[in-house]
């Protein structure tokens, strides 16, 4: 793997443009229109459901079924949003806040734990370190949903189900994050820097908090983003763990509304509410992804190039 | 971003203090070991509590059985033997095997094609395409399934509306085989972009000198992609294959939500995970559910291990 010793592309992928490749050649590559059209058609396929979601969110429940699905009818977006926010005493807002709480606490916690552990695995040779790291590496392969039922059974025993902890505690553990941070720390923190701090008499833990942590930040933000996304999107674990609607995150709540709507027991008006609620729920992450491109790309690069 | 360029690949620990450390452990070495444990410990405690203990507990449960009279008793491997002859579990595993063979190649070929196209520098609007294809990754699978569920709708879905408008038959999205491909489409929609980005990032890290020579010799871009680029990003491709294998066998969200739209087609045992969930929560049989979860984990690990082994063997021959 020739790419191993060259960390530069990993951290700059987001800002590099095709011109880097073109500079290296003698003549600029000609544009292939066939390729451009094929890939842009594919892009349309990936944007199509989102387009549909935006259009459908502007329709009243009646128009949803009587008008053409891919074009606008009477504009009822404001009414729909009002219904989403007030239906069942505004439980949707509660779900939104729950989702934020679960995702932020799990994301920050998982990133911090993975950064500390990854740094230690990369920069210290300690008894049992290699064995522990291989166990953590092996755990990446443990399927999360196969683990969810055992975790539920254990939490039921400890009477921890149907609490915030039931979602947060399992989400704090990211073996893949530890792997990523170990790879990242090996390159990002120069060992001579640690040595120099030691010579100056700085304690080991202070070296981590004052010198290394700053250098590890880009990697840590990547782990944070991934933990954030996986917790925000998680459905299976909260479905198992939670009974009270007051504790639901958005996906579980919306799925419940959808089931009620599809059940059709006089709750027909729910369809436009489910659709508008879905649109509102994906906005934060889509926006975050557009603005934080640099981080998730470098993170995926580290995982993909170095694995 | 401050990354120092070539550093040593091996983790060097207090190398300069080595002479002093020869006689027993020096104070500084002891401090380092202490710090290492202090840094690993918080993660490790949670790792043990949230991964190791649940697995051990589930393993323990799987050897017991709740009897109608006489409470819970040790039954040895009975739950496992039951699972291995349980048509519901076996058909679910078989269905996921088939799903794996159809969905994963389709998804990864699309990911690889788009990644190579973006990397070729022969495209206009490459940045728009990259973001547009990746954006579904930010959409929760629950929302993705809800959207596609409405789009597939046989009465009011836009595809059915268009088909009727053109005088064509409405596609059978919710029929027995139709649902299989409907779910494949949803999973592809969610993950093509994610895998594309992994491959694209790997492509960007290939030094251009490696194929500049071939280009000067007049090799076509397609030829360069097939003979130089793809072999060089094999580790990234392998990673996407393994993650896809793990993901496929755990399939739950999409079929569970589609059940509300096609209850007669997707049974409670459509995927092994759906089945284990129903055993645990509808049948209230924690012992058998634990055995099923364990077996499913073992199936996944065997297959992803086999994939890795196969790839390594191929690499050695090459």
Residue B166 token pair: 């053109």
What are the residue boundaries of the structural domains of chain B, listed by start?
Answer: 88-317
Using CB atoms, which residue from B39, B118, B155 is nearest to A116?
A: B39
Residue B173 token pair: 């999205």
Residue A277 token pair: 């609620």
pLDDT of residue A177: 93
Span B25-82, pLDDT tens digits: 788 889 999 999 999 999 999 999 999 999 999 899 999 998 877 788 899 999 999 9
Query: Is A2 a residue whose pLDDT tops 50?
Result: no
Rounded to 5°, the CA angle B61-B62-B65 comes to 80
Q: Which residues pair with B72 in a beta bridge?
A: B66
d(CA A145, CA B249): 10
Contact by Cβ (8 Å): A304, B239: yes
More confident residue, B5 or A91: A91
Q: What sign does the CA torsion over A282, A287, A293, A294 have? A: negative
Query: Is A143 a residue whose pLDDT tops 60?
Result: yes
Give CA separation, A237 vs A125, A142, A175, A259, B270, in Å: 36, 15, 17, 18, 19
Using CB atoms, which residue from B31, B290, B294 is nearest to A204?
A: B31
What does the pLDDT average to over B211-231? 88
Confidence tier at A22 by pLDDT (50, 70, 90): very low
Q: What is the 3-state secondary structure (H, E, C) of B239-301?
A: HHHHHHHHHHHCCCHHHHHHCCCCCCCCCCCCCHHHHHHHHHHCCCCHHHHHHHHHHHHHHHH
Contact at CB, A142 and B232, closer than 8 angstroms = no
Contact at CB, A52 and B53, closer than 8 angstroms = no
- The residue in chain B having the minimum alpha-carbon distance to the alpha carbon of residue A142 is B297
Confidence tier at B312 by pLDDT (50, 70, 90): confident
Rounded to the nearest 10 degrees, the angle between the axes of helix A270-291 and helix B141-152 is 130
Contact by Cβ (8 Å): B265, B177: no
Q: Which of A300, A302, A303, A306 to mutate to test the interface with B (most CBs of B within 10 A)?
A: A300
Q: How many domains does chain A have?
A: 1
Confidence tier at B129 by pLDDT (50, 70, 90): very high
pLDDT of residue A305: 52
pLDDT of residue A6: 31
Q: Which of residues 215-234 of A touch B (CB under 8 A)?
A: 215, 218, 229, 232-233
pLDDT of residue A301: 64
Query: Is B146 a residue whose pLDDT tops 80?
Result: yes
Segment holding B289, helix H or strand E: helix B286-317
Query: Is B194 a residue whose pLDDT tops 80?
Result: yes
Q: Is A194 a member of any domain?
A: yes
pLDDT of residue A82: 94
pLDDT of residue A289: 80
Per CB-CB distance under 8 Å, the chain A contacts of B202 are 3, 301, 304-305
A177 in reach of chain B (CB within 8 A): no
More confident residue, A265 or B227: B227
CATH 3.80.10.10 fits B88-317, yes or no: no
- pTM reported for the whole predicted model: 0.87
Q: Which residues pair with B73 in a beta bridge?
A: B65
Q: Which residues pair with B66 in a beta bridge?
A: B72
Contact by Cβ (8 Å): B261, B174: yes
| ipTM higher than the 0.95 cut | no
Q: What is the 3-state secondary structure (H, E, C) of B38-98?
A: HHHHHHHHHHHHHHHHHHHHHHHHCCEEECCCCCEEECCCHHHHHHHCCHHHHHHHHHHHH
Q: Is A51 a member of any domain?
A: no
More confident residue, A62 or B62: B62
Domain with A157 in it: what CATH number? 1.10.3720.10
- The residue in chain A having the minimum alpha-carbon distance to the alpha carbon of residue B123 is A36
Q: What is the span of the domain harbouring residue A128?
A: 78-306
C-alpha count within 13 angstroms, C-beta hemisphere, residue B248: 29
Span A193-220, pLDDT tens digits: 999 999 999 999 999 999 999 999 988 9
Highest-confidence segment of A59-63, A179-183, B185-189: B185-189
Query: Is A148 a residue whose pLDDT tops 50?
Result: yes
More confident residue, B1 or B60: B60
Q: Which residues pair with B65 in a beta bridge?
A: B73
Per CB-CB distance under 8 Å, the chain A contacts of B127 are 17
Residue for token pair 């009822």: A76
More confident residue, A268 or B224: B224
Specify the 3-state DSSP secondary structure of A94. Answer: helix
d(CA B198, CA B183): 23
Of A141-150, A240-249, B3-12, B173-182, minimum mean pLDDT range: B3-12
B133 in reach of chain A (CB within 8 A): yes
B166 in reach of chain A (CB within 8 A): no
At residue B266, what are phi and psi to the nearest 5 degrees? -95, 105
d(CA A249, CA A231): 9
Nearest C-alpha neighbor of B233 from the set B100, B119, B102, B106:
B119
pLDDT of residue A265: 57
Residue A97 token pair: 């806040």
Confidence tier at B125 by pLDDT (50, 70, 90): very high
d(CA A150, CA A164): 18
pLDDT of residue A298: 66
Q: Is A175 a member of any domain?
A: yes
- What count of other Cβ atoms lies within 10 Å of the Cβ of residue B210? 13
Q: Is A29 a member of any domain?
A: no
The whole-chain average pLDDT of chain B stands at: 87
More confident residue, A254 or A264: A254
Contact by Cβ (8 Å): A277, B208: no
pLDDT of residue A65: 83
Using CB atoms, which residue from A3, A18, A215 is nearest to B126?
A: A18
Span A103-140, pLDDT tens digits: 999 999 999 999 999 999 999 999 999 999 999 988 88
Query: Is A52 a residue whose pLDDT tops 90?
Result: yes
Of A28-37, A202-211, B264-273, minimum mean pLDDT range: A28-37
**Alpha helix segments (H runs only) across chain A:** 8-12, 19-24, 33-57, 61-66, 77-123, 129-139, 144-157, 165-171, 175-188, 191-199, 204-206, 213-233, 236-241, 250-263, 270-291, 293-306
A197 in reach of chain B (CB within 8 A): no
Q: Which of A2, A112, A120 to mutate to test the interface with B (most CBs of B within 10 A)?
A: A120
Query: Is A174 a residue whose pLDDT tops 70?
Result: yes
C-alpha count within 13 angstroms, C-beta hemisphere, residue B43: 30
B85 in reach of chain A (CB within 8 A): no
Give CA separation, A274 vs A60, A236, B135, B144, B294, in Å: 12, 19, 21, 13, 36
Task: Give the strand pairing for B72-74 and B64-66.
Answer: antiparallel
Query: Is A81 a residue whose pLDDT tops 90?
Result: yes
Contact at CB, A6 and B249, closer than 8 angstroms = no
pLDDT of residue A297: 67
pLDDT of residue A169: 96
d(CA B271, CA B274): 5
A15 in reach of chain B (CB within 8 A): no
Contact by Cβ (8 Å): B311, B264: no
Residue B263 token pair: 């209850």
Q: Is A236 a member of any domain?
A: yes
Residue for token pair 């491959």: B199
What does the pLDDT average to over B115-140? 92
Nearest C-alpha neighbor of B134 from the set B202, B181, B231, B199:
B199
Query: Is A9 a residue whose pLDDT tops 60?
Result: no
Confidence tier at A288 by pLDDT (50, 70, 90): confident
pLDDT of residue A266: 52
pLDDT of residue A104: 95
pLDDT of residue B3: 38
Residue B104 token pair: 């994963």
B168 in reach of chain A (CB within 8 A): no
Buried b (16+ CB within 10 A) or exposed e, A243-262: eeeebbbbbbbbbbbbebbb
């Amino acid at each position: 793997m020739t790419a191993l010793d060259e960390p530069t592309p990993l951290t700059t992928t987001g800002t590099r443009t095709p011109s880097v490749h073109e500079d290296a050649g003698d003549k600029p590559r000609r544009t292939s229109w066939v390729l451009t059209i094929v890939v842009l058609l594919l892009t349309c396929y990936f944007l199509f459901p989102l387009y549909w979601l935006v259009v459908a969110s502007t329709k009243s429940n009646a128009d949803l079924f009587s008008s053409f699905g891919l074009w606008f009818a009477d504009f009822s977006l404001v009414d729909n949003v009002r219904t989403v926010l007030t239906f069942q005493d505004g439980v949707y807002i509660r779900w939104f806040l729950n989702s934020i709480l679960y995702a932020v606490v799990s994301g920050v916690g998982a990133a911090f734990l993975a950064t500390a552990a990854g740094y230690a695995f990369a920069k210290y040779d300690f008894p049992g370190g290699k064995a522990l790291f291989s166990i953590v590496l092996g755990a990446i392969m443990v399927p999360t949903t196969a683990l969810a039922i055992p975790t539920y059974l254990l939490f039921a025993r400890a009477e921890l189900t149907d609490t915030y902890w039931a979602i947060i505690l399992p989400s704090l553990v990211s073996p893949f994050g530890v792997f990523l941070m170990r790879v990242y720390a090996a390159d990002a923190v120069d060992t001579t820097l640690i040595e120099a701090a030691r010579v100056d008499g700085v304690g080991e833990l202070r070296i981590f908090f004052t010198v290394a942590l700053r250098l590890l930040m880009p990697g840590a933000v990547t782990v944070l983003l991934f933990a954030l996304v996986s917790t925000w999107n998680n459905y299976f674990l909260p479905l198992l763990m939670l009974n009270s609607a007051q504790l639901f995150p958005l996906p579980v709540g919306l799925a419940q509304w959808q089931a009620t709507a599809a059940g059709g027991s006089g709750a027909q008006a729910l369809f436009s509410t489910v659709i508008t609620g879905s649109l509102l729920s994906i906005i934060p992450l889509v926006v975050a992804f557009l603005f934080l491109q640099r981080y998730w790309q470098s993170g995926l690069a580290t995982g993909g190039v170095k694995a | 971003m401050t990354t120092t360029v070539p550093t040593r690949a091996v983790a060097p620990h207090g190398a300069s203090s080595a002479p002093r450390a020869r006689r027993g452990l020096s104070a500084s070495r002891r401090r380092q070991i202490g710090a290492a444990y202090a840094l690993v410990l918080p993660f490790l405690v949670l790792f043990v509590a949230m991964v190791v203990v649940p697995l051990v507990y589930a393993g323990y449960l799987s050897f017991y059985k709740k009897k109608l009279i006489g409470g819970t008793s040790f039954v040895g491997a009975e739950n496992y033997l039951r699972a291995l002859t349980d048509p519901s579990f076996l058909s679910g595993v078989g269905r996921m095997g088939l799903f794996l063979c159809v969905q994963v190649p389709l998804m990864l070929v699309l990911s690889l094609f788009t990644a190579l196209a973006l990397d070729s520098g022969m495209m206009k609007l490459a940045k728009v395409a990259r973001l547009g294809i990746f954006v579904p990754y930010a959409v929760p699978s629950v929302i993705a399934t809800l959207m596609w569920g409405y789009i597939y709708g046989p009465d009011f879905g836009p595809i059915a509306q268009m088909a009727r408008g053109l005088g064509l038959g409405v596609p059978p999205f919710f029929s027995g085989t139709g649902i299989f491909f409907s779910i494949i489409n949803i999973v592809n929609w969610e993950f093509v972009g994610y895998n594309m980005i992994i491959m694209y990032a790997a492509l960007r890290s290939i030094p251009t000198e490696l194929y500049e020579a071939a280009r000067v010799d007049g090799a076509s871009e397609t030829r360069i992609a097939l003979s130089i680029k793809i072999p060089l990003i094999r580790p990234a491709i392998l990673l996407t294959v393994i993650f896809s294998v793990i993901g496929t066998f755990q399939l739950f969200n999409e079929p569970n939500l589609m059940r509300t739209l096609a209850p007669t087609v997707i049974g409670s045992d459509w995927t092994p995970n759906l089945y284990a969930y129903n055993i645990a929560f509808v049948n209230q049989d924690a012992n058998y559910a634990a055995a099923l979860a364990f077996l499913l984990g073992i199936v996944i690990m065997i297959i992803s291990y086999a994939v890795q082994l196969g790839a390594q063997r191929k690499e050695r021959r090459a």
